[in-house]
Amino acid sequence: MRRRRLWLAAALIGAATLTYATWRTYEAGRSDVGKVYRIAYDSTPPHYDHVPGKGAAGFAVDVMNEAARRAGVRLEWVYLGNGARAALLAGQVDLSPLGYYRPGSYPSLHQTRPWTEDYHVLVWDKARFSSDASDWAGRKVAHVGRVASAEMAASRFKGSTLLPAKSRLEALRTVCTGAADVAFVDLRVIESALLERPDECGRVRFHVQQSADSVDRLSLFARPAVAAVAERMRDSIDTMIDDGSFVTIADRWFVFSGAELRNVTRLQQSNQQLRWLTALCAAMAIAIGALAILIRKLRDARATADRARVLQAEFLANVSHEIRTPMNGVIGAAEIVLDSDLSAEQRDYVETVRDSALTQLELLNQILDQSKLDSGVMVLDIEAFSPARLIVQIERTFQHAAARKGLWLRHSIEGDPAGCVKGDQLRIRQIVSNLVGNAIKFTSNGGVDIRLAIKRSTDTSEIIVTVADTGIGIPVEQHASVFERFRQADSSTTRRYGGTGLGLTIAQHLAQLMSGEISLRSARGEGSQFTFRVQLPTAAPESGSVARPEQTVGALDGQRVLLVEDNAVNRKVASEILRKLGAVVTVAVDGREAVAVCSESTFDVVLMDCHMPEMDGYAATAAIRDLPAPARDVPIVALTAGVSSEERRAALAAGMSAFLAKPINREELASTLAGLARSRQAALDTAPSPRYT
């Protein structure tokens, strides 16, 4: 509807403009009826001359009379011996046929587009100077004493003596008498002058040389009040050029009508090109203006979209944190209870609570990740990691789920197990975990294989992870649909196995974000094989072999750990997990208390929650790093419900040593703390001993 209104408004404006232009043309035509316009001329043959008993005659007179006839204008020729410009300014005449085209030089007069050109020539006596004479410096040059001719002569003959003459014939006469060495006059006038020849020039053999850099364009001059009349006559001259009548008039008055035709044709072409260029410039100006408006709108839209993405990212981070915080308490408490002596029925109930919470957490992660991918706020966090170690950790994570269904879960590694690459370890873990989780979900008998192949080149490594199962399989015709959002192989799959249908979609998008791919080989009843491929930059290899699951959990016996957590349930769960791992735990409820405790006591590691009132974990970490040694050197591990790449980078930028996400994974927590302890001890062992004197 809005577009239709705009088109209607544009049509009305166009119609009004056309109507106004038509009315103005009609009124101008009416105003010319019976009106006679006075047009000036002088004795400048063959353009115009005064013929006794007949009046004005000449080339310009014939052209103007024909142009006026075609334009419906009546002219009265007025003879002026002293030129037309002063008469025009005084209002004695309305028009002047020929004036040197000088846009902006005569603001009180109107000038049309040029309608002819005038060449200037040099004329000298062959007996005095050779035909190839070109240097007139120090010579006497005669010229017509009009303003335009004088200006042109002054520019052309610097260093020469200029002799102004009353007329073209007088300029030639000075050459014949020897008063001047050369005459500088216009070509059209010299034609008749050479034919008539003044008495003093009867036996003089003239040499005429065109001055290529002395060409003037001539236009029709008018008083501003009759500018419209002058323009109509100028348009009529264009029609005369087109139909050949202009050349006919030129043939009547000039010897060199062919040159005149070329001049007029070239001038007409120049005028047409000028009109096209003007139209093109106007169109380009409109296009540039429209483009500028469009760019501004796009810039505003982009700024709005950027603000929306920032707000969405903040909202997703807050949602993730608020849901993960209580979920951490549920899962952690269930893990602690499962470590105690329970009956079979009690253990089954607690495992159901834990698994339900983990399923709920997985669904939350999928929804948040899909929202990030859709809004473009998903950012990869690049770091060095070991693909082999990652596969071992993923196998350990899913061992319990596979064992509950009576399935085997195993892994194999082809290539250098100590090799490292640079990439987003968290997102690769998410892709492979999704494939392994699906394989276990849709397999009732047999098991799942996780195969890792590392193909290294000079600067890059191709990581190939294949997850093969002996499950229900996927029909070939449904392979493409399993990667579509909210789609599974068929509706019975959803009813039997559950799920949102987002897992493979997110895994595919994450793989594409890394310039990788996921492929599928499967058939109904024959199991499935998903293969994830990605090229990543090679990093420095790790020393030692990949730890088996039973070797991963390091002993924390005697480690002094400061736990900083504002949520009471999470404090209780985390403290109990740390104590079961053998750590000595001190608790702080916010960032300010953590800084105060660190300034008074020494710890092996600090577990820091990032989102707390009063002082958050980032500010507390910065404050601890400002303390004197050795307090400032304590390893600080971010322990937070926020799992975005932005929060991970913010934690490391604040001075934290590692990053752990809630809910707490006991093995990952123990492995991280043990690794930090070993690194710190190695640094102390290699530090130089103090010197005593």
pLDDT of residue 16: 66
Please give the Cα distance from 80 to 88 (Å, whole number): 11
Selected residue with higher pLDDT from 600 and 313: 600
pLDDT tens-digit series, residues 19-55: 665 555 555 555 555 789 999 988 777 788 888 888 8
Q: Is 72 left (phi over 0), alpha (psi -120 to 50) or beta?
A: left
Fold: same for 290-378 and 387-545? no
Per-residue pLDDT reduced to its tens digit, 477-486: 777 777 765 4
C-alpha–C-alpha distance, residues 493 and 496, integer Å: 5
- Beta-bridged to residue 589, according to DSSP, are none
Highest mean pLDDT among 572-581, 583-592, 656-665: 583-592
Would you put residue 58 in left (φ > 0), alpha (ψ -120 to 50) or beta? left
Residue type (1 letter), 359: T
Query: What residues form DSSP beta bridges with 547?
Result: none
State mean pLDDT over 563-572.
Answer: 85
Q: Which of 108-112, 264-268, 669-673 has the highest mean pLDDT?
A: 108-112
Q: What architecture does CATH give domain 387-545?
A: 2-Layer Sandwich (3.30)
- Look up residue 324 and give its amino acid: R
Residue 390 · residue 429 · CB < 8 Å: yes
Quickly tell me which residue has 């791919």 as its tokens.
Answer: 517
Provide the β-strand partners of residue 218: 100, 116
CA angle 22, 28, 34 (to 5 degrees): 140
Question: 290-378 belongs to which CATH class?
Answer: mainly alpha
**553 pLDDT exceeds 60?**
no
Please name every residue paired with 123 in a beta bridge, in sequence order, or none if there are none: 183, 208
Cα separation, 531 vs 517, in Å, equals: 8
Judge whether residue 258 has pLDDT over 60.
Answer: no
Arithmetic mean of pLDDT over the chain: 79
Residues 6+ apart with CB under 8 A from 107: none
Whole-number Å distance between alpha carbons of 230 and 59 = 18
Neighbouring C-alpha atoms within 13 Å toward the C-beta of 160: 25
Mean pLDDT of 123-144: 85
Cis before residue 630, ω within 30 degrees of 0? yes
**Domain parsing of the chain, residue ranges:** 290-378, 387-545, 551-686
What pLDDT, in 10s, does the model give residues 188-199?
656 556 666 677
131 pLDDT above the threshold of 60: yes
Which is higher by pLDDT, 545 or 297?
Answer: 297
DSSP string, 217-285: EEEEEE-GGGHHHHHHHHHHHHHHHHHTHHHHHHHHH-S-HHHHHHHHHHHHHHHHHHHHHHHHHHHHH
How would residue 549 be classed by pLDDT, with cut points 50, 70 and 90? very low
Tokens found for residue 314: 């903040």
Indicate yes or no: pTM above 0.85. Answer: no
pLDDT score recorded for residue 465: 93
215/390: higher pLDDT: 390
Neighbouring residues of 378: CB distance < 8 A, sequence distance ≥ 6: 369, 372, 510, 513, 645
Architecture per CATH, domain 551-686, reads as 3-Layer(aba) Sandwich (3.40)
Identify the DSSP state of 406.
T
Which H, E and C letters describe 331-386, residue by residue? HHHHHHHHCCCCCHHHHHHHHHHHHHHHHHHHHHHHHHHHHHHHHCCCCCCCEEEC
Query: Any residues with CB less than 8 A from the CB of 553 and at least 6 apart, and which?
Result: 581, 666, 667, 670, 671, 674
Phi-psi bin for 461: left (phi > 0), alpha (psi -120 to 50), beta?
beta
Distances from the Cα of 348 to the Cα of 231, 234, 404, 496, angstroms: 101, 103, 11, 21
List the one residue out of 66, 64, 65, 92 whose CA is nearest residue 79: 92
Q: How far apart are CA 242 and CA 498, in angstroms?
A: 84
